[in-house]
Amino acid sequence: MNLLSLFKINQGHQITDLELYSAEGSTPVLTGDNELKGYWSESIVEKENLPCLTYPTKGFSGNIFIQEDIFDANNTAVLIPRKKWRDEVVLEWFAYKLPTLFFNSMTNKEGVSYLNKNLVQEIEINLPDKKDQENQVKYYRELKNWQKYFSTALEKIHGIREKTIFFDDLLDSNEGLELSSIIDYVSRNDYLSEEGIYKSVPVEGEATIKVLSGDTSQSFYGEVSMETPNIHYIKKRQILRLVTRGKAGKLTFFPKGDYATNTNAFILFIREEKFDYLGIKSELDEEYYLKALRLYLEARFVKLTSFADVSVFPLTDVMNDFSLPYFKINSEIKKIVDKYDNLQRTEVIYTQALNRVNALLQKEIK
């Protein structure tokens, strides 16, 4: 059956700011995204029509809302269950069912950006019995709960990771260090664009250099032959990748390897002659120190970029002018790094889980 058989469709109307400004009343006026726009004395439904469904007709984003109380709405359509079906339909089931059907209907009509009545009423619905609707709603409701859980947890993790870290209680002295005295860097490579990487694809068995970019969502941009001429790279070292454009100031640790960057990132590494001075006695100590530097520097680097005239990280100026406190790697700093590593692993796991939940929620109910 089509949607018109199940619901009366009220296409709604447009309410201007001026009309609301001069109106009186207590009926809430809702936007297409179910936000409060204001109040006035009219309503789009009668009490006996409740509960009902609403959805935006313009700027459609796939949202369906259940309305329990009297309201009016701006650029919003209303689906009112017909009396014959009111006791047979579960509105929450339609809130999960319709977004995909709406989207598919719009994309099948070339150039359609307005969810008009004619388009909606033709949508075919295979309505299961009420018990099946309720069971499917339980499944999607559980997914929604997991979506909220993972989203809230990730917001908290992001908040912690974006905080500025201080090691004041763990410093060996109040001595200040110029960043350039303990850190060196490898310049970026304009040549290593997508085209440059394609031209430098290694042959089988040939030594390679991993190319990093400013894209923090991926580990590597590509690989090129170790024989590629005239590129800046570092060999067999642990590093920090510094993003210089886009999410400028962001730092990521990479384990021992051969690395170069394209035009959107630099490579930072600890000067070997400073290992003893910094208490670094092993590769594991070096890893801890780099990760501690990332914790200390990242929020400050991001802030520095926000003050720059353009959103490009001013590395030369920072290397010469930036000062940080002197500390040796120690057990307390290692504990802090371990906690943040655990937090990062949790972030990865929760992000993957959230993506999976979102994918399941986007599937059409059968």
Task: Classify residue 303 as left (phi > 0), alpha (psi -120 to 50) or beta.
Answer: alpha
Beta carbons of 294 and 267 less than 8 angstroms apart: no
| pLDDT single digits (tens) 308-341 | 655 678 888 888 888 888 888 999 899 999 999 9
> How sure is the predictor about 266, in pLDDT bands with cuts at 50, 70 and 90?
very high
| pLDDT single digits (tens) 17-32 | 888 888 888 999 998 8
CA dihedral of 146, 62, 132, 363, whole degrees rounded to 10: -70
Residue 221 has pLDDT above 60, yes or no: yes
Q: 3-127 in CATH: which number?
A: 3.90.220.20
Residue 171 has pLDDT above 70, yes or no: no
> How sure is the predictor about 302, in pLDDT bands with cuts at 50, 70 and 90?
confident
Name the token pair of 246. 């886009």
Mean pLDDT of 348-354: 95
pLDDT computed for residue 321 by the predictor: 86
CA dihedral of 62, 68, 73, 79, whole degrees rounded to 10: 60
User: How many of the other CB atoms lie within 10 Å of CB of 1?
Assistant: 10
Residue 70 has pLDDT above 90, yes or no: yes
User: Picking from 40-54, 134-148, 320-334, which range would have the lowest pLDDT averaged per residue?
Assistant: 320-334
> How sure is the predictor about 185, in pLDDT bands with cuts at 50, 70 and 90?
very high
Residue 109 has pLDDT above 80, yes or no: no
Nearest CA to 175 out of 324, 333, 330, 329 is that of: 324
Beta carbons of 207 and 223 less than 8 angstroms apart: no
CATH architecture for segment(s) 173-326: Alpha-Beta Complex (3.90)
Using the CB atoms, write b or e for 92-110: b if 16+ within 10 Å.
Answer: bbbbbbbbebbbebbeeee
Beta carbons of 72 and 15 less than 8 angstroms apart: yes
Q: Where are the domains of the chain?
A: 3-127, 128-165+329-366, 173-326
Name the token pair of 165. 């870290």
Tell me 257's DSSP state. Answer: E
pLDDT computed for residue 17 by the predictor: 85
Asked if domains 3-127 and 173-326 share a fold, the reply is: yes
Chain-wide mean pLDDT for the chain?
A: 88
